[in-house]
Amino acid sequence: MIRKRVAILISGRGSNMSALIDAAKAKDYPAKISCVISNIPDAAGLETARANGVETLAIDHRAFGKGKEGRAAFEAALDEALQRFGAEIVCLAGFMRLLTAEFTERWQGELINIHPSLLPSFKGLDIHERMIEAGVKIAGCTVHFVSAETDSGPIIGQAAVPVAPDDTPASLAARILEQEHRLYPECLAQIASGRAHLDEDSVVRLDGAAPSGALINPIPGIRP
Ligand code: GRF
């Protein structure tokens, strides 16, 4: 089996990164994690990656200066590192830098991200707080191809979870994160194996199956 070479970009704790590294330990997983790159040199995830025998690299964005030029220089260094590692797919996993259209276009169809909401709802930051404030009853996470606009791009997969009446942003985040760790390896496997791919502006899946059933919140049929 040919395993696609994957680079993971992180900025922090790297729990999604760990889920991908763990999934790729299976012999029949269609991707191999070639490297983990962080824009934050002391990101906790780097140590976890190293402990799992994965090569790591820190590219501190602050070293490239501010403004358009700094951003371009940072992305050039990132791109050069990705080429060097032979990356065929790039997974953003809690990577907290906005990427320019030049970069996302260059990696189009090979650059994917995970976001803790059911996109296109709740793009951006402070997502869990905003979902609770809005009173949504079902939340979730999305894996998508990255396009130039933040938190947008063709959707590869989603997982939904209920929101409990007494949820705090932290308890909701934990419930969603558990599903992120299931969804991301599944979606990466689909892309790496070619079972799903980007075609123009949408994701084509070879196996068109979808799960049956529905998540309804509140639980239907409960009467006083
Ligand atoms: C996750 O919630 C992910 O969806 C978002 O940032 C968070 C990263 O967490 N993009 P971790 O570093 O993977 O633990």
Region 150-155: what's the mean pLDDT?
A: 95
Task: Please state which of the ranges 37-41, 47-51, 122-126, 208-212 shows the lowest mean pLDDT.
Answer: 208-212
45 CA closest ligand 1 atom index: 12
Domain ranges for the chain, please list them: 4-206
pLDDT score, position 140 = 98
Apex 92 CA angle, 121 and 207, nearest 5: 70
At the top level of CATH, the class of 4-206 is: alpha beta
Minimal-distance CA residue to ligand 1 atom 10: 94
Ligand 1 lined by 117 (C-beta under 6 Å): no
pLDDT score, position 207 = 85
Predicted TM-score (pTM) of this structure: 0.97
Minimal-distance CA residue to ligand 1 atom 7: 94
pLDDT in tens, 36-62: 999 999 999 999 999 999 999 999 999
Q: Annotated active-site positions, please? A: 115
Q: What is the dihedral of CA 45, 94, 139, 149, to 10 degrees?
A: -170
Ligand 1 lined by 5 (C-beta under 6 Å): no
In DSSP notation, the chain reads -PPEEEEEEESS--HHHHHHHHHTTSTT-SEEEEEEEESSTT-HHHHHHHHTT-EEEE--GGGG-SHHHHHHHHHHHHHHHHHHTT-SEEEESS--S---HHHHHHTTTTEEEEESS-TTSS-SS-HHHHHHHHT-SEEEEEEEE--SSTT-S-EEEEEEEEPPTT--HHHHHHHHHHHHHHHHHHHHHHHHHTSEEEETTEEEESS-----S---SSPTT---
pLDDT at 222 over 90: no
pLDDT score, position 224 = 82
In angstroms, the CA 168 to CA 89 distance is 35
pLDDT at 14 over 90: yes
pLDDT score, position 168 = 98
Region 141-166: what's the mean pLDDT?
A: 97
